Amino acid sequence: MKKLEVDQNKCIGCGMCAGMDPDHFEIDDSGLSTVINQDNIENETISQVIEGCPTGAITIEEIENEEKSTDM
Ligand code: SF4
């Protein structure tokens, strides 16, 4: 399965991702973007957000799914 992630060490808090896709991204208390939802992450909007992030902080990573994930 895939996991949408923001690297907060790279994020500069510009707000673009949360503005374009508030269903998946939120600016948290530290002023940086965080992923709030893993549903339906392979769509055109997210592709544009990933390409548009000025620091390349957003990635979709393939993760092993051997254990049942309960933290969705
Ligand atoms: Fe951070 Fe990139 Fe989102 Fe801007 S677009 S808030 S730099 S993750």
Examine the pLDDT at 71 and tell me if it is beyond 80: no
Examine the pLDDT at 69 and tell me if it is beyond 80: no
Q: Which amino acid is at 69?
A: S
Residue 64, pLDDT score: 85
Residue 66 phi, psi (nearest 5): -75, -40
- What does the pLDDT look like over 5-62, one tens digit per residue? 999 999 999 999 999 999 999 999 999 999 999 999 999 999 999 999 999 999 999 9
Q: Which one of 9, 53, 59, 60 would you pick to mutate in the ligand 1 pocket, going by the greatest count of ligand atoms within 8 A of its CB?
A: 53
Contact at 8 Å (CB) between 40 and 1? Answer: no
Domain boundaries, the chain: 2-62
For residue 64, the CA-to-ligand 1 centroid distance in Å is: 26
- 2-62 to CATH, choices 3.30.70.20, 3.40.50.720, 3.40.50.300, 3.30.390.50: 3.30.70.20
